[in-house]
C-alpha cells in the first residue's frame, strides 16, 4: 500500500487481514514522506515499510523509477493507493498494469483532484461518496471498480462530510480488495468485472 497521511484505510485493511476468510494481505507499506501516522500503523502491525520522498531525486521520472523499484521488490498482486498524495508515473504504471487501485472520496468523474470534499461542498452537491478505481495516466480518471454514496447534510463542513465518507470508504476498500483477490477481475475498456 502507498500512503501519505493518517492511514485509516491502511488500518482497515490490516484489521481485515486478521479476520478469517479475508483473502488479501498487506505485504509492505510505502510513503512519500517520513513521520506520518500511517508508518506507525505499519510498524505496529510488523509490516515492512519504505519512504521514497520526491525531494530526494533530480526529477519526477527518477523518483518514479525508485518508487517502482521499491514496490516491485515485494512482488505485490495489487498496489493500493490510500490517501497517497502523489501521481505515480509512466514507469510505475507500466510495471503494474491494471494492478494499481486508488480510493477517492467523491463520486468520480465528479470532483477529481486533491480537494474533492471541499469541491463537493462548494458546488452544492447533495450526494457524495467514494470511488475505488484502477489508476491510469490521468488524475482520478481510471476505470471504476466500485462506488458507494454518502448524503451531504445541510450545514456540513469539509471535515464532517469527509469523516462520514471515510467510514464508508474503509468498508468499500476492504470489500473491493477482498473481492479482487478472491474472485479475480477483468477490464474491458472502462468496465471492470469482478469474478
Ligand atoms: C481518504 O479519504 C482518501 O481517499 C483521501 O485521503 C483520505 C486518506 O485517509 N485521498 P487515510 O490516510 O487512509 O486515513
Average pLDDT of the chain is 97
Domain annotation covers residue 193: no
| The residue to which cell 502507498 is assigned | 2
Exposure class string for 48-87: b at 16+ Cβ within 10 A, else e: ebbebeeeeeeeeeebbbbbbebbeeeebebbbbbbbebe
Q: Whose CA is nearest to atom 5 of ligand 1?
A: 83
Domain annotation covers residue 191: no
Distance CA 121, CA 131 (A): 17
CA separation, residue 4 to residues 37, 82, 133, 154, 181 (Å): 9, 8, 18, 30, 24
Ligand 1 binding pocket includes 133 (Cβ within 6 Å): no
Q: What's the CA-to-centroid distance between 105 and ligand 1, angstroms?
A: 8
Burial degree of 195 (CB within 10 A; 0-12, 13-18, 19+)? exposed
Question: From the alpha carbon of 130, which atom of ligand 1 is closest?
Answer: 4
| Judgement on whether residues 88 and 150 belong to the same structural domain of the protein | no
pLDDT of residue 182: 97
Q: Which three cell numbers stand for residue 84?
A: 497517497
pLDDT class of 127 with cuts at 50, 70, 90: very high
Is-cis flag, bond preceding 53, omega within 30?
A: no
Other beta carbons within 10 Å of 188: 8
Distance CA 152, CA 145 (A): 23
pLDDT of residue 183: 97
| Judgement on whether residues 124 and 65 belong to the same structural domain of the protein | no
pLDDT of residue 82: 94
pLDDT single digits (tens) 86-95: 999 999 999 9
Domain annotation covers residue 192: no
Q: Whose CA is nearest to atom 8 of ligand 1?
A: 83
What is the mean predicted confidence (pLDDT) over 30-50? 98
> Is position 104 annotated as part of the catalytic site?
yes
| Judgement on whether residues 79 and 38 belong to the same structural domain of the protein | yes
- What Rg, from alpha-carbon coordinates, does the chain have? 16
Ligand 1 binding pocket includes 170 (Cβ within 6 Å): no
Share of the chain above pLDDT 70, in %: 100
pLDDT class of 10 with cuts at 50, 70, 90: very high
Ligand 1 binding pocket includes 104 (Cβ within 6 Å): yes
Catalytic one of 104, 115, 133, 162: 104
pLDDT of residue 57: 98
Contacts of 122 (CB under 8 A, 6+ apart): none
Helical (H) or strand (E) element with 132: strand 127-134
Q: Whose CA is nearest to atom 7 of ligand 1?
A: 83
Domain annotation covers residue 194: no
| Judgement on whether residues 80 and 1 belong to the same structural domain of the protein | yes
Ligand 1 binding pocket includes 76 (Cβ within 6 Å): no
pLDDT class of 18 with cuts at 50, 70, 90: very high
Domain of residue 134 covers 102-185
What pTM was estimated for this model as a whole?
0.97
Exposure class string for 165-183: b at 16+ Cβ within 10 A, else e: bbebbbebbbebbbbbeee
Distance CA 116, CA 177 (A): 22
Distance CA 91, CA 104 (A): 22
Domain endpoint, select from 43, 64, 97: 97
pLDDT single digits (tens) 129-181: 999 999 999 999 999 999 999 999 999 999 999 999 999 999 999 999 999 99
pLDDT of residue 189: 95
Total number of domains constituting the chain: 2
> What residue spans of the chain are helical by DSSP H?
8-17, 37-44, 60-72, 90-95, 116-123, 158-183
pLDDT of residue 99: 98
pLDDT of residue 194: 96
Amino acid at each position: 500500500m502507498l500512503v501519505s497521511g493518517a492511514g485509516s484505510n491502511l488500518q482497515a485493511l490490516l484489521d481485515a487481514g486478521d479476520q478469517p476468510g479475508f483473502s488479501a494481505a498487506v505485504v509492505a507499506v510505502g510513503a512519500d514522506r517520513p513521520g506520518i501516522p500511517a508508518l506507525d500503523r505499519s510498524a505496529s502491525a510488523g509490516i515492512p515499510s519504505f519512504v521514497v520522498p520526491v525531494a530526494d531525486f533530480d526529477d519526477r521520472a527518477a523518483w518514479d523509477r525508485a518508487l517502482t523499484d521499491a514496490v516491485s521488490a515485494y512482488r505485490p498482486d495489487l498496489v493500493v493507493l490510500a490517501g497517497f498524495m502523489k501521481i505515480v508515473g509512466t514507469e510505475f504504471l507500466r510495471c503494474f498494469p491494471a494492478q494499481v487501485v486508488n480510493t477517492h472520496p467523491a463520486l468520480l468523474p465528479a470532483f477529481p483532484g486533491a480537494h474533492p470534499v471541499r469541491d463537493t461542498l462548494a458546488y452544492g452537491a447533495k450526494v457524495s461518496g467514494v470511488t475505488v478505481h484502477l489508476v491510469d495516466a490521468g488524475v482520478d480518471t481510471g476505470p471504476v471498480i466500485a462506488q458507494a454514496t454518502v448524503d451531504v447534510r445541510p450545514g456540513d463542513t469539509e471535515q464532517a462530510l469527509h469523516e462520514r465518507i471515510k467510514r464508508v470508504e474503509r468498508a468499500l476498500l476492504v470489500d473491493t480488495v477482498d473481492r479482487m483477490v478472491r474472485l479475480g477481475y477483468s477490464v474491458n475498456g472502462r468496465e471492470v468485472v469482478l469474478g
